[in-house]
Amino acid sequence: MDLAVFLFFALRISLSDIAIYTIRNWDLGYFLLSIFILHGTMLVASFYKYPVALVLMVSALLIGNWIGAGDLKLLMVLTLLTSNYQDWIFALIRSLLFAGLFAFGKLLRRRENGELIAMAPFLFLGFIF
């Protein structure tokens, strides 16, 4: 059940991000609500999640145009699904690696800079594997 719900929201949010480069707040809200319904409040018990959320919020202010606020909000929601800080870091590194490989392939194929890349599919891939 958990995997089916995760894959449903991963597909829904990723397709939206690919189509319009926007992660809608209501999609994230429903995803967050489903996480709390399935897992209860035990997810909030891990202490590391609060500093991670704070770092992500500060990053949103500092990074500017490099990553969208929807991507950071999605990352904050995905933080609830990891059990410890190391898992979160490795999932984030995998996500960035997948996105970097995709961007490199896109750059080699088209030879254009400055195109937008939808990060949601790569964030979900990083947290699945």
Burial 19-42 (b: 16+ CB within 10 A, else e): eeeebeeebbeebbeebeeeeeee
Handedness of CA 31, 22, 102, 56 (dihedral sign): negative
> What is residue 85's three-state secondary structure?
helix
Handedness of CA 14, 3, 45, 31 (dihedral sign): positive
Number of structural domains, the chain?
A: 1
The residue-averaged pLDDT of 87-112 equals 81
The residue-averaged pLDDT of 45-71 equals 64
Distance CA 93, CA 1 (A): 27
Q: What was the pLDDT predicted at 1?
A: 53
Q: What was the pLDDT predicted at 105?
A: 81
**pTM of the complete model beyond 0.85:** no
Domain of 85, in residue numbers: 2-128
